[in-house]
């Protein structure tokens, strides 16, 4: 078996591979550049093969990504149509949920404003208490009740919030005790209208583009909107309008559409908007955790067992 690794491996990582697949031939991007004919021999890939090589990767059976969302990769028809199985990693729940709640607390407690005032050495208590919000007793709506969404919901419960979860299968999916109520996408307007905080952790699919559009934003009633899924889930122009109209009281955005956000975009200068450059999922130890997922899946592959975290190429996750 020939195994391709996109990034250079450490001696420890190579040792882990040898423990699971002692007979494997491990090649790197440098090896492939020196000997392009190796592309047809690759059976397993850890990391992404360049899109232009996929039609020549006739022996590829499985690619393990170190990312969660593969929507950008699957925009290429050659990759979508390739028979190889794709798997991803689910190691983002803690960091993304903490990032979202960090932005939420900054907005509700005016912490972002206080930090700016601190830079000017200004003690302006009246300005800080103006428009303060509370979470206890309010309603949280989590849009996308997967592993990340459920952790967001659990933290909301710890704040004493009522939690509504939205997922594709609605109440018919697996149990999610973190949510008080679970609904399907068709009922989102009523959920948005009663929620003080709305957290969006949706993948990019044809079904989720502008899942929160002008109609959904108009249904909100002074809500805080936070997005760490994909920027395409929210209609950016409509969001600007909703922020100006007060339908959205504040926004925390780790993802935007377009991305990166142009420097002239009005969202940058809005005092009730926090923007971070799409790093909510990054955390110390990320590479080691992703590699551990690969090693576990490699053992499954060698043993003929089902792989974990298989990606639906049609849905992109």
Q: Which domains does the chain have, with CATH numbers?
A: 2-91+284-302 (3.40.50.720), 93-275 (3.40.50.720)
Pairing, β 62-64 against β 273-275: unpaired
Q: What is residue 199's predicted lDDT score, i.e. its pLDDT?
A: 98
Residue 265 confidence class, pLDDT cut points 50, 70, 90: very high
Q: What is residue 134's predicted lDDT score, i.e. its pLDDT?
A: 93
Q: What is residue 316's predicted lDDT score, i.e. its pLDDT?
A: 81
User: Exactly one of 278, 283, 300, 315 is catalytic; which is it?
Assistant: 278
Q: Is the dihedral of CA 223, 273, 269, 205 positive or negative?
A: negative
Nearest residue to 207 via CA among 253, 144, 140: 144
Q: What is the DSSP string of 19-33?
A: HH-TTPEEEEHHHHH
Q: For residue 315, is pLDDT > 90?
A: no
Q: What is the rounded distance in angstroms from the CA atom of residue 143 to the CA atom of residue 92?
A: 16
Q: pLDDT tens digits, residue range 74-110?
A: 989 999 999 999 999 999 999 999 999 999 999 999 9
Polymer length of the chain: 317
Q: What is residue 174's predicted lDDT score, i.e. its pLDDT?
A: 87
Q: For residue 7, is pLDDT > 90?
A: no
Q: pLDDT tens digits, residue range 145-183?
A: 999 999 999 999 999 999 999 999 998 888 899 999 999
Catalytic residue flag (residue 12): no
Helix and strand totals (H; E) in the chain: 11, 12
Long-range contacts, 58-64 (Cβ 8 Å, 24+):
59/2, 60/84, 61/85, 62/86, 62/87, 62/297, 62/301, 62/307, 63/87, 64/293, 64/294, 64/297, 64/298
Residue 314 confidence class, pLDDT cut points 50, 70, 90: confident
Catalytic residue flag (residue 196): no
Catalytic residue flag (residue 151): no
Residue 57 confidence class, pLDDT cut points 50, 70, 90: very high
User: Exactly one of 41, 98, 259, 289 is catalytic; which is it?
Assistant: 259
The DSSP code for 222 is S
């Amino acid at each position: 078996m020939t195994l391709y690794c996109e990034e250079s491996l450490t001696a420890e990582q190579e040792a882990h591979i040898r423990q699971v697949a002692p007979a494997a031939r491990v090649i790197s991007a440098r090896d492939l550049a020196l000997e392009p004919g190796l592309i047809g021999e690759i059976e397993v890939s850890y990391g992404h093969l360049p899109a232009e090589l996929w039609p020549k990767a006739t022996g590829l059976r499985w690619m393990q990504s170190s990312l969660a969302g593969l929507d950008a990769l699957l925009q290429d028809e050659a990759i979508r149509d390739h028979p190889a199985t794709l798997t991803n990693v689910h190691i983002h729940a803690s960091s993304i949920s903490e990032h979202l709640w960090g932005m939420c607390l900054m907005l509700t407690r005016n912490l972002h404003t206080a930090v700016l005032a601190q830079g000017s050495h200004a003690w302006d208590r009246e300005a800080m208490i103006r428009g303060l919000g509370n979470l206890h007793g309010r309603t949280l709506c989590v849009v996308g009740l997967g592993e990340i969404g459920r952790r967001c919901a659990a933290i909301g419960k710890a704040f004493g919030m009522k939690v509504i979860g939205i997922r594709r299968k609605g109440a018919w999916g697996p149990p999610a005790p973190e949510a008080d109520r679970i609904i399907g996408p068709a009922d989102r307007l009523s959920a948005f209208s009663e929620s003080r905080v709305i957290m969006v952790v949706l993948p990019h699919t044809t079904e989720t583009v502008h899942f929160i559009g002008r109609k959904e934003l108009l249904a909100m009633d002074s809500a805080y909107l936070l997005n760490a899924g994909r920027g395409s889930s929210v209609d950016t122009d409509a969001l600007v309008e909703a922020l100006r109209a007060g339908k959205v009281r504040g926004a925390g955005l780790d993802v935007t559409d377009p991305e990166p956000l142009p420097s002239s975009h009005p969202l940058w200068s809005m005092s009730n908007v926090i923007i971070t450059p799409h790093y909510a999922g990054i955390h110390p130890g990320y590479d080691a955790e992703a590699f551990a997922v690969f090693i576990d899946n490699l053992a499954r592959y060698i043993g003929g067992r089902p792989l974990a975290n298989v990606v639906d190429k049609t849905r992109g996750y």
